[in-house]
Amino acid sequence: MTIAPILRTIEVAVPPERAFELFSSRMHDWWPIGHSISDDPRVAIEMEPHVGGWWGQIGEKGTRSQWGKGLAWNPPGRLLLAWQINAEWQFDPALVTELELSFTPVGRNSLVTLEHRDLERFGESAEKIVEQLRNGWPGVIHAFADLADGRLECAPACSTD
């Protein structure tokens, strides 16, 4: 069973070189607050700029919580990452799903395309989600609904296809 990849595009008002740099080295400054994989409040996000490089968050108390790693590092056009957070929002070294970012010039701007693939690899932990739902995972349904409501405020520039 395969699952269609998630594909998202957005245009940003900087050239690819700058977009790549801001995306990879300033992630902490723009990454939405919200779901965290650690109780230790996030003070930094680190992405080591090379293949196999550590990618994750660093907490106030110094806790290092890995999200994944670099799989290909080709500035300014392409960044391939492994997203290794499972359905329970925890790092799982055995789980590798690919997250590919591409930065293409559009005039003086860039088109940023995000593709998250190999989603069927979540299969096992997705079953755990269902298990948790049966046991009344607190608030999860409402959280999903809140996300859905938030999505309705999506800016015209964002695309869902």
Positions touching another protein (CB under 8 A) are 1, 3-4, 6, 8-14, 18-19, 22-23, 26, 29-32, 34-35, 87, 112, 114, 116, 119-120, 122-123, 126-127, 129-130, 133-134, 136, 141-142, 144-145, 147-151, 154-155, 157-158, 160-161
Q: Shortest distance, CB of residue 48 to another protein, whole angstroms?
A: 19
Q: Shortest distance, CB of residue 22 to another protein, whole angstroms?
A: 6
Q: Smaller CB distance to another protein: residue 62 or 142? A: 142
Contacts by residues 119-122 (CB-CB < 8 Å, ≥ 24 positions apart): 119/3, 119/4, 119/5, 119/6, 120/1, 120/2, 120/3, 121/95, 121/96, 121/97, 122/86, 122/87, 122/95, 122/97
Q: Shortest distance, CB of residue 127 to another protein, whole angstroms?
A: 6
Q: What is the torsional sign of CA 86, 4, 155, 20?
A: positive
